[in-house]
Amino acid sequence: MRSREFRGLVLVIALATAAGACAKSGSTGVAVKGVDANLVFGTKQPPRNAAPANTLTDQGLSPDYATGGVALPSQSFTSTKKTIRTAPSLPKTPCPDATLNAFPSEAAPLDVPNDRRPAVGAYRWKRSGSVTINKIKLPVSGFEQHLVRNVKELGASTNTAAVPGSAASKGVIFSYETVQPDASGNVVVTTWQVDTSATQSTVNEGLKTPVVNEGSPERGLVIKKIQVFNAKGDPVSTFAPLTGLLMLPLPVQQGLNFQSVAIDPASGEEATFSGTVLPRQRVDACGEIIEGWQVQGSQTFSNSATTRTEEILVATQLGGLVISDKVQQAEPTGTNAIDTLITIGQQKPDPLPTS
């Protein structure tokens, strides 16, 4: 994490504590008026490049991020802002632990089935971990709200032949969007794309050599776009590479190593991800066990001097939906760090608002 991303975070927390009136309870959980970046940094900050959702930015830490329920503001989060909708409420029902003998209702297959799509709706997610600011460690807990929306069919897969390491039959390509808050009080809209049968190949040079994956740059689950909006719905930044950032090659091959690079031609920002596919893992979604494939790797953005370690779980049986995201990132001095885990809190989403 860049040192300037942490600058003023202690002041943000102090302001949040002193100005308790900024926080209010409502039908959407806990809504907190963000602290103006000008108060923290003293000058107006230039627009920043897009960053993943669970990342601290140079806008500082949102006063309600560490504890409480973070619901999305009521807006459409689009560049046109033509339709403003009331955000769904965070569920007020308890979040029980799964029983000791609980098992997932469906195993995560090696590929996203051609007829599966992420379920559109509003999801409660659970948060845990900590952020460290000036060597002061703050625990992170509570819930936050995520949306899944805009599932789009994009046609046939890129695979045209039975290439080793990919399915022989024709697959499909589709995309979907996730909407979630970030640690700075903004809203991040991520566009994901799934190719269920991309052209690819693998190289295995021996038992002591990792299996390496090559082929189509978008050969599985990729990040196609990251858009950041402020609490009023105004665009803050966009990362829109011509070729998406690969997060999981499909079909899944346990033990596979892969690398991906994505460049936004408008800003010149470059993102990289170097990952390894690990065995299936499970998350407790408030009493329901959901299984997903674990991907562990290092991610960099050219607007940051620090590499972040990221672990995600991808539920192929749910249309390639990411159900867990663990991020660890720290300055070399250890003065400032983030170590957070967010996991899905319900398998069946609540409906999105219609007006």
Whether pLDDT at 35 is above 80: no
- 271 contact partners, CB below 8 Å, separation of at least 6: 223, 239, 241, 245, 261, 262, 263, 299, 300, 301, 302
Q: Using one digit for the tens of pLDDT, what is the confidence trace for 205-258?
A: 555 555 555 677 899 999 999 999 888 888 888 999 999 999 999 999 999 999
CA distance 266 to 258: 26
Whether pLDDT at 312 is above 80: yes
Q: Which residue has the higher pLDDT, 317 or 199?
A: 317
Q: pLDDT value at position 132?
A: 83
Whether pLDDT at 11 is above 60: no
CA distance 74 to 321: 24
* 3-class secondary structure per residue, 259-317: EEEEECCCCCCEEEEEEEEEEEEEEEECCEEEEEEEEEEEEEECCCCCCEEEEEEEEHH
pLDDT category at 59 given cuts 50, 70, 90 is: low
**Residue percentage of the chain with pLDDT more than 70:** 68
Mean pLDDT in residue range 21-38: 30
3-state secondary structure of 160: coil
Whether pLDDT at 185 is above 70: yes
Q: pLDDT value at position 170?
A: 78
Mean pLDDT in residue range 79-87: 64
Radius of gyration of the chain (CA): 20
Mean pLDDT in residue range 147-158: 91
Q: Which of 5-19, 139-153, 206-220 has the highest mean pLDDT?
A: 139-153
Indicate the residue type of 70. Answer: V
How many C-beta atoms lie closer than 10 Å to residue 44's C-beta?
8
Q: pLDDT value at position 354?
A: 66
Predicted TM-score of the model (pTM): 0.79
Residues composing the chain: 355
Counting Cα atoms < 13 Å in the Cβ hemisphere of 253 gives 22
Average pLDDT, the chain: 77
CA distance 295 to 256: 10
Mean pLDDT in residue range 92-101: 88
Q: Where are the beta strands (DSSP E) in the chain?
A: 23-26, 29-32, 69-70, 121-133, 136-140, 143-156, 172-181, 187-195, 200-203, 211-215, 220-229, 235-239, 245-249, 256-263, 270-285, 288-301, 308-315, 321-330, 337-344
Q: Using one digit for the tens of pLDDT, what is the confidence trace for 261-296?
A: 999 999 999 999 999 999 999 999 999 999 999 999
Q: Which residue has the higher pLDDT, 20 or 75?
A: 75
Whether pLDDT at 27 is above 60: no
Q: Which of 57-66, 138-147, 284-293, 333-342 has the highest mean pLDDT?
A: 284-293
Q: Which residue has the higher pLDDT, 291 or 24?
A: 291
**Which of 243, 288, 282, 234 has its CA nearest to residue 265?**
243
